[in-house]
Each structure stands twice: as structure tokens, then as C-alpha cells.
Amino acid sequence: MALSVFLLLSISICYLVFLQDLLLSVNASNAQSHNLTQNSVTPINYDLYRSSRNLMGEIRALVRRHPDKLTMETLKAANKGYGAQITVVTYGKEKEEKDKRSKLRILLSFGQHGRELITTELALRILSILSEEKLLPGMDQASLNSVLDKLVIKVVPMENPNGRKVVEGGDLCERRNGRGVDLNRNWSVDWGKKEKDYDPYEENPGVAPFSEPESQIMRKLAISFEPHLWVNVHSGMEALFMPYDHKNTTLDGLPLKRMKSFLEEVNHHHCQERCMIGSGGGLVGYFAHGTATDFMYDVVGVPMAFTFEIYGDGTASSKDCFKMFNPTDPAAYNRVLSDWSATFFTIFKLVPLQIGEKAPILKLEKLVSIDEYLDGYLMERRNRYGKKMENFKKQV
């Protein structure tokens, strides 16, 4: 009997030791796997990329050095305890408002998603070329200046500075703003619709259209400026998108012909035919509801409204977001900035040819006040394709 008890105890102890060793082995394996995953996530390369603070500091210094070419303003808004401010840089050699309203107007936005650092670097490069501190290889400066004289260009170098700070704090996959809303889902066209694969971490549209201060600022800017060309610059792939994002439908008639020929020209000369062209909803693989570009086209009435995707690494894992959305080596970084800055200056040349030498002059009898939130700005009453004009409401 005593021998049986002894054997039973011995077997139990051996089994417990075996379980402990097994548990330690599993924990070690998990830790090794976790470390491997952590080590495989590419950190921000600050030898290539500027912090948001340094980048905006360089832009402010650039504007101060070239007051004859560049001006800058900071727009602010707040909602329920959350505030945002967005810097807007304007290129235009003529200061008189009447001269600006007779020119073609271009609005470019970068950094709407915090994790897409390369887009804000491109904004700085474009501004540096506009100031003539940097030159485009092979571009005749006198010829370029004659084109730029016809334009007023507003550049938003970083639409989502609060979200960018979250990324710089270590969450390299964050695309939303400082309170977790995707700014490219917070606009009113088809707002709030959720697809079957809806991911709130990626696509949270907010509690209402324009609930976010950043979107309010951009809406006000677009309506007051009335651009002829809008480009929302992103990364994640290489593509040239036109409306619509929220449905698998492209434009028809003259708008389709004009936009498609414009993008085909860009694709041929700068993408070497590798960029996808078409509607975002038809090509990107999912529908995006409440986007800025759909609003710019449908509500603001921008005749040429685009979303450009300037870089993507399809080999990166879904957790390695910095690598997925941003070039990580100097050669690729410089290539993206050189290629796409050249692309935008080609676009600046093409816009007058596509739209006409002179911008339409607005007639006062066609203008109506929007609402209190827009501080008395006026906009032209439009009824595009029989659609009802958006009812702007003050956000609280």
C-alpha cells in the first residue's frame, strides 16, 4: 500500500514538472514570437522623415523667406472639447482679390491620415519648388513661371496634425484624428453607411457629418476658395482616382471625358502606365462613404476632383504600417518625392488647357449665404444633375 502511494506521488510530481516545463516552453515561444513581431515592425526613420513639428517649422521658415510668393494662415475650430488647427499655404504672385478670382484655383491636401508621412514630405517639396529654393530637373523656370502666373494654389501640408502626433507617439497604424475619427469618412456625401467589412478602427465616420473640427475647417476653406482642381493626396498604393468613392459608378459625358483624359496624361508621363485610373469605389476594392473628394465634386462643384495614392508597399505585413505606407530607404524616398513633385507641376501646366485660361467670374445675383458657421462666406447656388443642394448646418 505504501509503495503504491509512493509511486502515485512520484508520477504526480513528474507530471507537474512536465506541465511546468511545457508552460515555460510555450511562454518562451510566445515571447519569442512577440519579439519577432515587434522587431519586424519598421519604425519611423527620422533620418529620412521630419517630425510633424520640424516639418511645419520648415514650412513656416520657407514662407518667411519668400513673402513675395507664399503666404500662410492657420485655421482653427473646436467641437465638444476637441480642437484642431490646420495650416494653409497659398502660392499666388498677385495679392489683389480681383486678380485671384480671375485665376484658376487649385486646392491640395496632404496628411489627412496620420500614418501617411510621405504625403506631408511631398507637400514640403512642392512648396520648396514653388518658392524656387528647389528646382525641377529639366524644367525651364521661365516657362514654369508663365504657367504659375495663371494659378492660385492653396496647399494644406498636414490636414491631420493631431493624428500625426498619435503616430509619432508609437501607434504607427493610426489613420484617424486625435479622437479616433477617420477624416475621410466624416464628409456628408453618403455619410455613415457601413459595409459588411466595416472596421471602426479604420473607418469610424464620427457621430455626424462634419462632427470633426478638421473637416469643418476643410469644408469652409473649399467653399470659400471654390477650387477648379482638388487633389487629396494619400499613400498605400499607386492610383489616380476620380469620383465616386461610395459607389461603383464613374461620371458620364464631358466630366468623365475631361477627367479621364487628364489622368491618362498623368499616368502616361509620370506613372509609366502603372497607376490605376478610375473611380475609387470601382477600383480600390471597397466602397468609402463620406469622403472629401465625393463632397468636393458633388456639393462644392469642383470640376476636377481627384484622390491620388502616391506610394504603397504590397509586400509589407498589415501590422508593418510605416513600411506599407511610406518608402523606408533613401533611394525610394527620393524617387517618390522627385516623381510626384514633377507630376504636380505637370498638372499645373495641364489645368489651364483642360479648364480654360480664365476662371469663371462669379455673379453676385447667383450667390446665397450659406449659414452662420461659414461666417458669411458666399457660394454659387448649384443644382448639379438635378440634385438638391446640401443643407449646411452648424455643428455643435
The per-residue pLDDT for 95 is 53
Phi/psi of residue 90, nearest 5 degrees: -115, 130
Q: Contact, 91 vs 152, CB < 8 A?
A: yes
Residue 10 lies in a domain: no
**Does pLDDT of 116 surpass 80?**
yes
Residue 56 lies in a domain: yes
Residue 25 lies in a domain: no
| Region of poorest pLDDT, from 164-178, 283-297, 360-374 | 360-374
The per-residue pLDDT for 195 is 84
Q: Contact, 359 vs 104, CB < 8 A?
A: yes
Q: Contact, 301 vs 384, CB < 8 A?
A: yes
Beta pairing class for 276-279 and 367-369 = unpaired
The per-residue pLDDT for 287 is 85
The per-residue pLDDT for 257 is 84
Number of domains composing the chain: 1
Q: Contact, 343 vs 318, CB < 8 A?
A: no
Residue 81 lies in a domain: yes
Residue 87 lies in a domain: yes
Locus of grid cell 510621405? 118
pLDDT one-digit tens code per residue, 220-271: 999 999 999 999 999 999 999 999 988 887 667 788 888 989 999 999 989 9
Label residue 4 by pLDDT band (50, 70, 90): low
**Does pLDDT of 286 surpass 90?**
no
Once rounded to an integer, what is the mean pLDDT over residues 45-57?
99
Closest CA to 359 of 103, 152, 92: 103
The residue range of the domain holding 242 is 52-355
18 vs 312, higher pLDDT: 312
Catalytic residues: 309
The per-residue pLDDT for 391 is 37
- Strand order, beta sheet including 276-279: 70-79, 82-91, 151-156, 104-110, 229-234, 304-311, 237-242, 276-279
Closest CA to 302 of 139, 81, 154, 133: 154
Q: Contact, 87 vs 72, CB < 8 A?
A: yes
pLDDT one-digit tens code per residue, 140-150: 889 999 999 99
**Does pLDDT of 7 surpass 60?**
no
DSSP E strand stretches across 132-255: 151-156, 229-234, 237-242
C-alpha grid cell, residue 367: 450667390
The per-residue pLDDT for 359 is 40
Average pLDDT score, the chain: 82
The CATH number of whichever domain residue 220 belongs to comes to 3.40.630.10
The 3-state DSSP class for residue 70 equals strand
